[in-house]
Each structure stands twice: as structure tokens, then as C-alpha cells.
Structure 1
Amino acid sequence: METINLNRRKFLGYLGTGTVALAAASTGLGTLAPIAEAAHTADHLFAYDDLGLTPKAKPHAFFKPIMPTLEDELILPDGFSYDILAAYGDVINPKGDTFGFNCDFTIYFPIKGSNERGLLWVNLEYINDKYMKQQYMPLFMPNSSEDTMQRYHQGGAIIEVYRDKSGKWKMDTSSKYARRITGFTPFELTGPAAGSSAIGGKTTAIGTWANCSGGMTFWNTVLSCEENFETQARKSNLPSEHYGWVIEVDPFDVDDQTFKPRKHTALGRFNHENTCMGITKSGRIAVYMGDDKQNACVYKYISNGKYEAGKGKENSKLLEDGSLYVASFAQGRWIKLDATEVSKRVHDSKFSVPAVLKMRDQTVQSLRAMFPANATQAHVMVNTHEAAIILGGTPTDRPEDLEISPFDNSIFIAHTNNAAHGNIHGHITRIFEKEDDFESMEFMFEIFAAGGRQSGFSAPDNLTFDSDANLWVVTDMSESNIGKGVYEWHGNNGLFVLPTHGQNTGEAFQFASGPVGSELTGPWFTADEKTLFLAVQHPSATWPRRKGDVDPLPSVVAINGFKGNNLDKGNNGNKGKNK
């Protein structure tokens, strides 16, 4: 009989979430609970109603893990290959719009339920002036200024993609849906800050940029997150408080008029990485978010209203009216960001500036200006990081992507790194909400996996799940560190698979290695899990080397070779190269 070696703390932790089935699965005694009962998570697993999956003893059995490498190629396991869908400067539609720079987060939206034709939303995070050239601008914008090129090449792209009869993925440049969301797109402002003095009385904003990661709503729209927005706002002489928000776009709204692009101020303003959405036991929407900078916090938003599937995109209003909370890991609880309480604290004669804010040159006077005696929620939403720290939010090590496990409702957080704390390789945190409810104000947590030589990965970034409860993790080491010193063992940035149950829980198996200088971002599966979309950001040598390419070009790819749901094993063949 096989010996069961299950850590008692972990076992009790699983039971504490109400997921007895998962605890049984972890010991090899049972199967995972059906997803319809266990999870509400905004990812490709929306497509499934009842999986009832049996976990594999070795969840990496469907591919042979690769070794670290410094090769200037997108390296994949035997039996897998990739197709380049769009690269910087490629024309995407009949109008002549071009694909922007530094692609990041991706979401696939099926057309008529198809796993072989759909819309792909792609974030376009930032521009590198070294590669910014007029030749990559659309022909209808000749002789563009530097500011115009910078703002145009950021934001988001909606492209139509399909798999042809030979099995190759391509972009359909004749698509009526394909279009760009740029630094010039008009946005409506919603929520507490809209029209307030804290945002200059404005109800609209022009443009989006620094779009890092994001999420998918239950009503089939994109949530895209503005991260390092400050520099472009300053360069373009635009109000900084109009940026740093979560935007929402309907990819199927051809003219962006039926569902106008919007920025949701109720979700707070900070250096957003992504969003992940769940439904509480009472039927409300919960949105988890991270602030991607050193010594920053983890947030949760809970809507006041309840989600009604029949209302479709009207549910977007749930993101305009609710409460924003910050995590205190020291207390294991969520703290409500309340304007009255923040104002009361900063105007107390005994108030002293928290150390984290002192490092950002904040003073008592500047904080009192941010939060006047009559402060409203608008002031808190515009200055969310400061409010969170003042009220006791825990500063952490760059909380980037957060994802809800579709099997037990635990929340995984990629804490990328924080050299100031000596945490150079980062870690993945796992939160268990009390009573397995996203609306709970108490939680427990654990370090699910730590980066370093012992695990094989460093600087975890974007996350996604497959239907076998494997966590897919891309890494985000600085290009200046790759292959050097204490990072030498890692090779280029890559994509790793970490089982979240069974005997290999928390072990990292490398699935992909990116080209020289790049990071891999935005992994997203089609619903049948036969295709994985992935962005290759800031390659710096010669990739992708298509005919006519003169620069290394950020590109979004489709990875082939998967056998479908449960990621069937048995793939054999050659190293993954561009078809």
C-alpha cells in the first residue's frame, strides 16, 4: 500500500476552505470536485460546466520538460510548435491599423463558440524608442510626432485569428472586428472619482497606456490594467490622475459606441497588474488585484449589487459601486479603504508618515493635501496606495498576477521579487478565504512555491490554470540579470507548469524558454485546451526572423501540440520551432 505523506498543516488548511474533495485528491484518495460547485473564475475554464476531473500522479506527463537555455528562440518541448500571429508593426485590419509594441496579456474570445476562430485581445504595454519607427505606424498617419507614435503603439489590439485547414494559426486582416485601443481612444470615467475634484471634475479621459495584464468578465468583456503610467502621462502633458485605472472594453463592439470604453475608478488607482474575478456566496462580484511595485499591496473589490447573468453587459455597473479592501497579511484580514478613517488618521496631531511612504518622499503635509479633512471616497480611489498603507495594508514584494483556482477557490499571487528585502527570486503566495467565500473579511495564506535554484524558476509573473489544476507561470527576470551571477542557472525567461495537487505539488516543470532578452507574458488557453496563446515581449537579438524583419519584434504566438482537455499525454516530435 502506498504511504500517504500529507503535511498536517496543509491538510487542515484544505479542510478550512471547505474543499474536502481537494484534500482527498491530494492524498490520492479521490477526485476533484466538479468545477460548477467549486469555482467561479474569469478564465478560459468558463467554457466548462462539469469537469469532474481525476488528477494525474504526474501532471507534467503530457510533455517532456525542457532544460534552461540562452538560445535566441522560443523553445518548446518535443511535439509542440508555434505560429506567429502578429508582430510589432503588422497591419491588422482593412483600415491599416498596426499591431503595437510590447504585447502582453492575451484573451481569446470565441466567435460562435469556435475554438479555431475568434478574437484575440492583446495588451500593448510600453514603447522602446530604439525600435519606434515611422515604418511601423499605419500609412494613414504619415510623419507622426514622437508623442503620437508613443501613444499609438500602446493600449490594446483586437485581432481576429483562425486555424486554417493545415492546422496553422493566422491573423485575419479582413476582420470587421479588428481594431486598436490607443493613447488617443476616448474613455468614460465611472465610479466614485468620476466628476470629482480629485480628478479635476472630469467624467472622461483620453487614451490608455502601460497596459500590463488584465482579466475577463463574466459578461464577456476585457478588463485591462494600466500599470507604469506615470512617464507617458508626463511626456504627453496629460493629467496623471486620468491613468492608473482598470479599463473595460467590449471586443465585439465594432465602433466602441454600444459599449463605450470605460475606466472604473471604484477599483482604485495604482500600478495595476491584473484582475481576477469571482462570485461570492451571496452572488456579488469580487475582483482581486495586485499593485506591481516594491512594497505595494494586494486588493479586493466587492460589488454592492449582485451579478445577474441575464443582464449581460449591464453587469458592468457592478464595477462602479462597491467597496475596496486591502490585505493585511499580518492580521489575516481585509481592511476597508474608508475615506473618513484615512482623513481622521492623517489629521491626527500624533500622525507620523509610515516608513514605506517616507521612501516615496511623502510628508505629513503632502498626505493631508491628498486626504483633506472633508475627504471623500474619490480621494481614496485616486490615491489608493497611500490610503492602503495608512490604514494598515501589508507592503509586499511586487504582487503581480492574481488568479483564482477553478478547483478550490484559493487565490494565487505571483510576488515577483523585491531585492530590497533580499527576495531576489520571488515567490507564489496562496490565500484561503474563510469559509471558502470571496466576500469573507478573514483569510489564511501560505507560500505555495518560492523562486530559486531549488524550484528552477525566478521572478514569477503572469499565471493561468489548465483543467488539470496545473498552474502555468511565466517569469520576469530583468534582461540585465539573465544568464549572469546568481541567475545564471535559470537561462532565459520561461514558462513553467506547477501542479497544485498530488505528489508533485509546487514543483516547477519548464515548458518554454523565451528568445534572448525577452519575457513570456499573457498565457491563455482556448476552451478545448488545444491551443495556448502567448506573448513574447521585448526580444532583443534577432527573433522572430521572419522574411523582411530588420528588428527584434515583440510578437504574439499560438502554441500547437496539445491534445485537448486534460492535456492528454503522448506527444513526441521535434523541438518547438516556428512553423
Structure 2
Amino acid sequence: MTQLTERRSLLPLLAAHPGGRSAATCRYRCGDACSQPVPNTSDNAYFGDVVTAAVQRRSLLQAGAAATGAVALAWGTARPAAAGPGRGRPGIAGFSPIPPTPADVDELVVPEGYKWAPVISWGDPIDPGAPAFDVDRQSVEAQRRQAGYNADYLTLRRGGARGNAANRGLIAFNNEYTNPESMFPDWSGSPTPEQAMIEMAAHGMTIVEVSRRNPFSPWRYDVAGRRNRRIHAHTPFAVDGPAAGSALLRTAADPRGRTVLGTLNNCAGGDTPWGTILSGEENFNQYFDADGADDPDGALARYGITSGGRGWEQADDRFRVADHPNEVHRFGWIVEVDPDDPRSTPVKHTALGRFKHEGATIRLADDGRAVAYMGDDERFDYIYKFVSRERYRKGDKRHNMRLLSEGDLYVARFTGDGFEDGEFDGSGEWLPLLVDGRSHVPGMSVEEVCVHTRLAADLVGPTKMDRPEDVQPNPHTGQVYVALTNNTRRTPGQTDEANPRANNKFGHVIQWTEAGDDAAALTFRWRIVLIAGNPDDPSTYFSGYDRSQVSPISCPDNVAFDGHPDHLWIATDGAPGTIGTCDGMFLMPTAGPEKGKVQQFLSVPTGAECCGPVVSWDERSVLVSVQHPGEGGVPSGYPYLGDPVPRPGVAHVYRGKR
């Protein structure tokens, strides 16, 4: 570890930003969004104009700890919180919860009786001819044949041509962004052209085949897997949907506006019933330098595209907005990839709108149409829903891969019903942006709604949310959950019943049920199921469960489900800077006597974010992405293979035979 410590000591120890992330995370994940002006300057109401009693009770949340007794009474909470559960306390679902892990601990901590192993890490070769990882001998060609950097969204697809389908399959994971200060031993603060091209090659997605000996052994990746593939910033993508070929997407390199090179800042995603993978292009704005660019309609400002960038324009001129004003319009989409065909061309779907997509998840409506739920991960931005025009056909993959090419696009408005029932809840409606191929936004064409979706949504009056990230329907119940990670810019005068906490450092989770339990419905009922934070904070809420019996949790980012209808798994991003613990993964039952009992299952190493959990709870098996270990200049050796730098990637937590 001496070499690691020496190299890491060269990095600045960067302070946490107000939202809880390190300054390095803010710089490389989202382009310092939290230190920039809020992009949404629309005058949409904050929907806080509910009955006076509700406003008065909400003000107790704003008052913080001074409101202990009143908030406890409002939530029906009986006792003050203890310091948190310790190792060995009886848990739920077959594990004893781990205690909170201090933010400087460089370990992947799992419950007693569980083991973990790395599956694949940044730089691992994914074809037999690729070189082994060597931090001192990186190249563009090597990186395009090696696992990408910073694993986020993760999926496991069972089955394969050889052996037992239960013990073979593939994993796909997003490579969201790069940490050049960790990647390059000679990093000087700005990339050389070669380093910029290596970073581009490390972005995108990684797909590899995996296998295991039996359900009690770890998954391992196959370097020679038939379906292994890297998708990066120069992979050709097809463009489909209403904006394909639009003048807004045409460039000198692509005068037809139908082929884009690459995908950037891929965050969360989703599986489709027809066997493909969806991935969301999130903070794409940070890669573009807008110096000298005109912004007559305010679209650049609305998407947070400012001067600066990451220096990539020195290696690839298309990232200079003044010279290529439409190139930035070619990012910010949902992309679809067929993981079973490594020669297929991935697609960018313009029908689903352009914004900072956290991801997209699919549920079928009662009539068979595909419904995609999406969050725009920005302070005061919105939640969206797409409903396909055509219907799903079981077994017809070719037809189904066109479902996201045409349909209706909506944005959500949440309205509170007052606090008399003791809960933050109410009704909601889906406001139309595009329906039946026509724009429902005055003054904007269909193509403009697709490309400038944020501007279109501003005009119809949706609810400004606290950074809506992962939006997931429970596959067993149909109820939909959204992780609202945080929003430290919300003031007391901007709170509403769906976003009730000012200076929301810790985040919350909302659940809703579509009318008639039909995913295509245009109205819904909602309620808050978690207001995160340290449970000794009286403003926290755990679905009414005794706060003294739950784990501290902060900044929910991803949510996931397993084979049990009442298991909600939550992965976090921001706990080190808000409650002083490592990020991790938590289980919260959504029904029954332990409803709301948040218990921590694992924690990731110092500086890392916990992402993309895939849970097979009947096997006591969890795959998890460990993103940016050691970020912010803290020493980390993850995955502890003796390398001189930390290597983000995918880990498998498993029970093993007793």
C-alpha cells in the first residue's frame, strides 16, 4: 500500500459540497452543478398552497430539532432514536444489519455470514487479445477492449449457450464518468489530448459474460465471452423517434442527423421485457465548452451548459459548442442496447425526451403498451412518463425494439391533500407534452419538445422535485418508487407536501399508485415513505416505524426489488458528507409489521458510491457497483488486488455454504 499512499497523497483533499458529495464528485460527476445557478428558473408554483394546517405542520420540518415533540406527535413516533443498530441485533430477511461505517473506512463491509468478491474492475481485459491492466501503460486502443471506469447501473441476465442457465449469464453496467486524478499517475489538472481520448474510451457501457460453479460461489467474468462488448464515446448510435433527422440534430459530420458517436455520463438504466437494456445519459452538459456560443432561446443555460468543460475539446472539436452548436443536442437521451448481439447498433430514443436522464424503467400497461418512468436528476426538475403507441408482443423482439420509438410523453404534477391524515400524501396527474404525435406545448413543435424537453415541461406546470433519480415500479405490486436524493437549495418558502423539507441534505422516497393500477393512467395517488437522515433527527420518517430501531440512511439514489413483494432495496450516494458514514445498501420493507424498518446490508469503501444493486434474495446473492472508491483524495486500495490505484467495478456479495 506504500505506492498507493504515495500516489494518492499527491491529490488535493477536497472538502464536501453542500449536498454531501466531495468536490471531486461534483467536478467529474455533474460539472459542479451544486455551485452553479439552478437551471430551472421557471415560475412554476411549488404546489404548497394546501390547507393552513398542513402548512403549519410542514413548518415543523423546517425548524429541525427544535420541533422534536410536535413532529414526533405528527408522525406518530413513540420514542427517541438510539444511536443505531449494532452488529448482531436481530435483522430482517435473513441477515443481521451492519452498524454504520465511518466515512474513512476503506472496506467493503458485509453482514456476518456473507462473503464478497470482485467480479470485474476498471481495466480488466474483456477479450483474449486485450492487455492486462497496467496503470502506467494506458492507451485508447487498450481501454476500448477493457472494462470501463466507474460502474453505475448494473443488470444480470441469466442464461447462455453453455451449461446450466442458472449459473451462466451476462452482466452489463454503465461507465458513468472518469476520475482522471485517480486514473493517471502524471495527472496535471487538465488532460493531454491522449488522456482525453482515454477518458472517452473509458466512458459508456461494459457487457461481459459471467458464470459461477453453483449458487454458493461468486460470479466470475469470462474474458472470452461471445457477447462481451465495450460501448464508448466513439461507438456509433442510431437516432430514432420524432426528432431523428431534425435540423436540431444535424452537424457537419452528420448532415442527416441520424447517427451519433458515443454515449456520455450513463447513470442508471433498466431492463425491458423484450430482453434489451436501457441506459440514461445524465450529466452530459459538463463535457461541452460553451465559451463564445450563442444562447438565444436559453436552452444552454436551462441544461447547465456553461463555459469550461473537461478539456475534451482539445482532442475532439465537436465538444466546442460555438463551432458545433447542435452536437450538445445529441446527448441527454435514453439509449437502448441489445446485449445478446455485440454487432448491433445501439439506439438513442428521442421520443422519451432529452434531459439529464437518471435512467428509464419499464412496466406494461393493462393494454400491453410499454410505459417508461424517468427522473431528471437536477435540483427543482421533474419526473416523466412515456407511453408507447404500439403494444408489446411476447416473443417478437424485433417488433418490441420499436416500442420506444413512438408514443406519448408526460410530466408529473404532485398535489398535497393536507396533513389531517398524518402523512405527506396526495394526488397527482400526468401533464401531456406529446400525445398522438402532436405537441401539447404552446409555441413548440414536436421536434422542439423532444430536444428541449426541459423548456417544454416548464410551460405546462409540473412539480419541481428534489433531484429525482431512480424511478422504479415494484414488479410484484405495480406501485412506483422514486428516490429524491437531496436539494440544499430549497428554501422554507419553496417547500410543498411532496418536497416538505427545506435545505434537504438527506433526501426522501415517494411511492405512488397509478389510477386503477394501470401504468398508462393519467392520475395517481402518492405518499412519502421515507424521509432520510440520522434517526435521532425528528424530521426523519420511516413509514411510521419506531425511529430508535432503524439504521441511519442519507441520499437515496437507486432503488431495487427482489423476489419478495415487500422488499425495497435502497442504494445511497452522499452519506459521507451528510451523516459521516460510508454509502451503502439498505433494505426497507414496504408492508407488514416491519414496514419502514430500514436496516443496512452493506457499506462501500471510503469515497465510493453504492450503485445498481441486483438482488436475488432466494439465493442470498447481491451484485453491486462500487463507484469512484477513494474519490476526493482519500486513500483507497479497492478491490485490494495490489494495484497502485483504486479500481471501480462490480462486486458480488453472497452467502456461501454454512
TM-score (norm 1): 0.76
Q: Which of 67, 77, 87 in structure 1 is aligned with 2:121?
A: 87
Residues 563 and 616 of structure 2 are in contact (CA less than 8 Å); yes or no, is this contact kept in structure 1?
no
**How much has 1:390 moved relative to structure 2?**
1.3
After TM superposition, the structure 1 = structure 2 runs for residues 316-335 of structure 1, keeping only pairs within 5 Å, are 316-330=401-415, 332-335=428-431
Would the aligned equivalents of 1:531 and 1:562 in 2 still touch at CA under 8 Å?
no
Distance apart, 1:528 and its partner CA: 5.4
Trace 1:337-486 onto structure 2 (pairs within 5 A): 337-338=433-434, 340-344=439-443, 375-421=444-490, 422-454=503-535, 456-468=552-564, 469-477=566-574, 481=577
Q: Post-superposition shift, 1:378?
A: 1.1
Whole-angstrom distance in 2 between the partners of 1:323 and 1:249: 22
2:208 and 2:107 map into 1 onto residues whose CA distance is 24
Structure 1 residues 200-235: Cα deviation after superposition (integer angstroms, max 9, x where no partner): 250110001100010001111110110001122443
1:562 Cα deviation from its structure 2 partner: 7.2
Bigger Cα displacement from structure 2, 161-170 vs 457-466: 161-170
Partner secondary structure for residue 568 of structure 2: strand
1:117 equivalent to 2:165? Answer no
- Structure 1 unaligned spans of 5+: 1-57, 137-142, 345-374, 564-570, 572-579
SS of equivalent residue, structure 2 residue 614:
strand
Q: Secondary structure at the match of 2:402?
A: helix
Is the 1:89–1:135 contact (alpha carbons within 8 Å) kept by the matching residues of 2? no
Return the letter of the residue paired with 1:175. Answer: G
Match of residue 642 from structure 2: 548
Aligned mates of 2:114, 2:186 — CA distance in 1: 33
Change beyond 3 A, Cα 1:159–1:527:
farther
Determine the structure 2 residue equivalent to 1:31.
none
Q: 1:149 is paired with a residue of what secondary structure?
A: helix
- Cα distance per residue 1:297-352 (max 9 Å; x no partner): 000000111111131232111100101000011261100104754234xxxxxxxx
* Aligned partner of 1:99 among 132, 140, 147: 147
> Once the two structures are superposed, what CA deviation does each residue of 1:79-125 show, in whole Å capped at 9, x if it has no partner?
11111011111112124211111111111112237232211001000
The offset of 1:149, in angstroms, is: 0.9
1:534 and 2:624 are equivalent in the alignment = yes
1:93–1:176 contact (8 Å) kept in structure 2: no
* 1:63 aligned onto 2:95: yes
In structure 2, how many angstroms separate the alpha carbons of the residues matched to 1:445 and 1:546? Answer: 44
Q: Distance in 1 between matches of 2:553 and 2:561?
A: 17
Does the 8 A contact of 1:115 with 1:528 survive in 2?
no
Structure 2: how far apart are the matches of 1:326 and 1:547? 46
Whether the 8 Å CA contact 2:183–2:645 is kept in 1: the answer is: no
CA distance in 1, matches of 2:98, 2:620: 20
Tell me which residue corresponds to 2:269.
214
Query: AA paired with 1:157?
Result: T
CA contact (8 A) 2:369 2:392 kept: yes
**Aligned pair in 2 of structure 1 residues 94, 467: CA closer, same or farther (>3 Å)?**
same
Question: Residue deviations 1:395-420, cap 9 Å, x none?
Answer: 10011111111222110000111111
> Aligned partner of 2:358: which letter?
E
Alignment of 1:216-255 (within 5 A): 216-234=271-289, 235-236=312-313, 237-238=318-319, 239-255=327-343
Q: Is the 8 A contact 1:115 1:527 kept in 2?
A: no
For the pair 1:145 / 2:194, whether they are aligned, the reply is yes
Q: 1:178 to 1:439 in 2, by over 3 A?
A: same
- The residue that corresponds to 1:179 in the other structure is 229
TM-score, structure 2 length as denominator?
A: 0.67
Distance 1:401 1:512 in 2: 19
Structure 2 portions without partners, runs of 5+: 1-89, 131-144, 251-255, 290-311, 320-326, 416-426, 491-502, 536-541, 543-551
Task: Determine if contact 2:554/2:575 at 8 Å carries over to the other structure.
Answer: no
How is 1:240-279 mapped onto 2 (pairs within 5 angstroms)? Answer: 240-256=328-344, 260-279=345-364
1:297 equivalenced with 2:352 (yes/no): no
SS at match of 2:146: coil
What SS is found at the alignment partner of 2:458?
A: helix
CA distance in 2, matches of 1:119, 1:408: 27
Q: After superposition, give the CA deviation of every residue in 1:15-54 in whole Å (9 maximum; x if it has no partner).
A: xxxxxxxxxxxxxxxxxxxxxxxxxxxxxxxxxxxxxxxx
CA distance in 2, matches of 1:104, 1:340: 34
1:169 pairs with 2:257? no
Structure 2: distance between partners of 1:132 and 1:163: 30
Q: Distance in 1 between matches of 2:656 and 2:365?
A: 33
How big is each residue's C-alpha offset from its partner over 1:497-555, in whole Å with a ceiling of 9 and x where there is no partner? 00011011122100001100111100013595442110001110223253431011112
RMSD (Å), alpha carbons: 2.2
Aligned to 2:322: none
Q: Give the counterpart letter for 1:195 in structure 2.
A: G
